[in-house]
Structure 1
């Protein structure tokens, strides 16, 4: 008969007991992005058309003379900055919003950016 426990089960259980809250949150975000069929941010290549999924961790609206909205999206494997040029706000997108974004990845060193991505809001914070 099959068993629900095995060598991997104990290791996962021990990991959950010893991991930090930040690591557990990153694991949850990675699992959600994987289920959504998105490419992990850390695996995205420069100039590739990608679809990423994660949670907005920060939203920045620059001064009035700069017309753009910037959002940091974290999928647990890494972060990508989403920049919408020519907009001052995007309704429904706040810190804590889960969304899927699609666009051309731009990599410069360790920084990743997608300009004017198309997006789908998956879930909004309460």
Structure 2
């Protein structure tokens, strides 16, 4: 191991010791997203057909007079994409903390990235 590699290894070690749990989780999610070949959420733009993988932060049923919706925030370590299933009150397996890979077209709603009725795959826990 060269001196430069050793210094780099020490810096990574010290960074991991000093980092918060949220920072470490974000790094792990980013690494997993990159390994799977998915699009980072921060790179998603309006109209793009994307595949994003991450962890569900929140899942909320929103009763509306015309059309109920199930909404979930998917975090991949770089940004959040809101997933909206129209006409759904509950979907088995869609719960906070669950790992998920979704595909769909990105829309913007109130300056937030949204995918309506995404195709999804529940990931098995690591």
Answer whether contact 2:63 2:69 (CA < 8 A) is retained.
no
Higher deviation after alignment, 62-71 or 115-124? 62-71
User: 1:71 maps to which residue?
Assistant: 72
> Structure 2 vs 1, CA of residues 85 and 11 (structure 1 numbering), >3 Å: closer, same or farther?
same
Cα distance between partner residues in 2 of 1:92 and 1:45: 27
Structure 1, unmatched stretches of 5+, are none
In the alignment, structure 1 residue 13 sits paired with structure 2 residue 13: yes
Answer whether contact 2:60 2:70 (CA < 8 A) is retained.
yes
SS in 2 for 1:14: helix
TM-score, scaled to structure 1: 0.88
**Alpha-carbon distance, 1:64 to partner:** 6.0
Q: Runs (4+) of structure 1 moved beyond 6 Å?
A: none
Structure 2, unmatched stretches of 5+, are none
In the alignment, structure 1 residue 106 sits paired with structure 2 residue 107: yes
**Alpha-carbon distance, 1:63 to partner:** 2.2
